[in-house]
Amino acid sequence: MALGTIGGALFAHFNMPLAWMIGSMVFCTAAAMAGLPVQVPNGLRSAMIMVLGIMLGSAFNPTILSRIGEWMVSLSGLAIYIVVGGTLGILFLRRVAHYDPITAFFTAVPGGLNEMVLIGGAMGGDDRTISVAHSARVIFVVLVIPIWFQFFQGYDPASRGPLGPGLLEVPPADLALLASCTVGALLGRWLRLPAHMLVGPMLLSAIIHLAGLTSGKPPGVMIAAAQIVVGAALGSRFSGVRLSRIAHTLAVASGSTLMLLCVTTLFAVVLHWITDIPLPALVLAFAPGGLAEMSLVALALGVDAAFVSTHHIVRIVLIVSLVPVAFRLFRHFTGKRLPKPPGSD
């Protein structure tokens, strides 16, 4: 974590976009690939993910209810985007990278790293390639999106101000109310919500903010800490992996992610024209990054975090729910017999 903090502080010193997360991610990824033992304690990561969930919930306010109609249009577009992006990804990985059909399918699905690695490996795919490709996709998106905002949307890191209120500026009653939202993680686990450590606290925080019980937000220092931890967690995925051994996979992942970002931009422009939802919000909502990562990007860039996080939650639900059915259809049309999951004999 010290390495991630140093990286974040260095990037912040030079006013780099999303400094604390990207600096931590870059330093920890480089250290992991150099063979250093980079690891983020699960308890610390879970705590910071809950903080992020509470922060995202604070972005919900009563005015959101009047925009539900717009959201339904963009959410419908999201479902189409998943199909189009996944199909183009499979074609790219089969024709250009020459991946086997199963590995190509589970690598091309735009989301659900843990689920895709587990299911893809069980179905006979190369789980190492799937894991590296999805991790590289998220890192590539986290690097590219803020830079795109800086050069094409006029984003100035120095003008954003603090990430949140000072630690002593939040009233104790608000702090206690916000802290109680961590119970949402247990509730989310009981309800089997996707990404329950984030979604559960976010839902409870959203409820108390929509109800007008508080307008408080977590202190800025906690948001910076969450960025550092999430960045370090991304980098730690490459622990024990040598760059020379995965260079080809990283190159392929970069190419497929760039293609997905082009599809993202196309969908965002069309939906912006239809709904008049701000283009930056649509780009972040459709970007093929992780829920926690894209939500942090939205918060840092001052984009509608409630809109962005809701779309990524729906994306996860759609992917996890529909991938088994889609895979069976894929196997049927490719003329290959569906393998039995391990342990079914």
In tens, the pLDDT along 24-42 reads 999 999 888 888 888 888 8
Among the listed ranges 114-118, 245-249, 335-339, which one has the minimum average pLDDT value?
335-339
Of the pLDDT bands very low, low, confident and very high (cuts 50, 70, 90), residue 342 is very low
Q: What is the distance between the alpha carbons of residues 270 and 265, in angstroms, rounded to a whole number?
A: 9
Q: What is the distance between the alpha carbons of residues 140 and 232, in angstroms, rounded to a whole number?
A: 15
Tell me, what's the pLDDT at 344?
42
Tell me, what's the pLDDT at 290?
85
The residues near 124 (Cβ < 8 Å, ≥ 6 apart) are: 102, 339
Q: Is the pLDDT of residue 341 over 50?
A: no
Of the pLDDT bands very low, low, confident and very high (cuts 50, 70, 90), residue 108 is very high
Tell me, what's the pLDDT at 336?
58
Q: Is the pLDDT of residue 343 over 50?
A: no
From 1.10.287, 3.30.70, 1.10.3470, 1.20.1530, which CATH number describes the 2-333 domain?
Answer: 1.20.1530
Q: Give the H or E element holding residue 179.
A: helix 172-179
Q: Is the pLDDT of residue 335 over 70?
A: no
Tell me, what's the pLDDT at 260?
95
The residues near 236 (Cβ < 8 Å, ≥ 6 apart) are: 28, 32, 38, 39, 40
Q: Is the pLDDT of residue 268 over 90?
A: yes
The pLDDT tens digits of the residues spanning 274-312 come to 999 999 999 999 999 888 889 888 888 888 989 999 999
The pLDDT tens digits of the residues spanning 47-98 come to 888 888 888 888 888 777 777 788 999 999 999 999 999 999 999 999 999 9
119: left (phi over 0), alpha (psi -120 to 50) or beta: alpha
Q: Give the mean model confidence (pLDDT) for residues 265-280.
A: 95
Average pLDDT, the chain: 85
Q: Is the pLDDT of residue 249 over 50?
A: yes
The pLDDT tens digits of the residues spanning 130-187 come to 988 999 999 999 989 988 887 777 666 655 555 666 666 777 777 777 778 788 889 9
CA atoms within 13 A on the CB side of 300: 31
Q: Is the pLDDT of residue 345 over 50?
A: no
Tell me, what's the pLDDT at 209?
85
Q: What is the distance between the alpha carbons of residues 334 and 101, in angstroms, rounded to a whole number?
A: 8
Q: What is the distance between the alpha carbons of residues 155 and 159, in angstroms, rounded to a whole number?
A: 8
Q: Is the pLDDT of residue 337 over 70?
A: no
The domains of the chain are located at 2-333
Tell me, what's the pLDDT at 157?
61
Q: What's the pTM value of the predicted model, to 2 decimals?
A: 0.84
290 against 242, higher pLDDT: 290
Q: What is the distance between the alpha carbons of residues 101 and 118, in angstroms, rounded to a whole number?
A: 16
Tell me, what's the pLDDT at 213?
80
Strand ranges for 154-308 from DSSP E: none
Which of 113-127, 189-203, 265-279 holds the top average pLDDT? Answer: 265-279
Nearest residue to 62 via CA among 197, 186, 212: 212
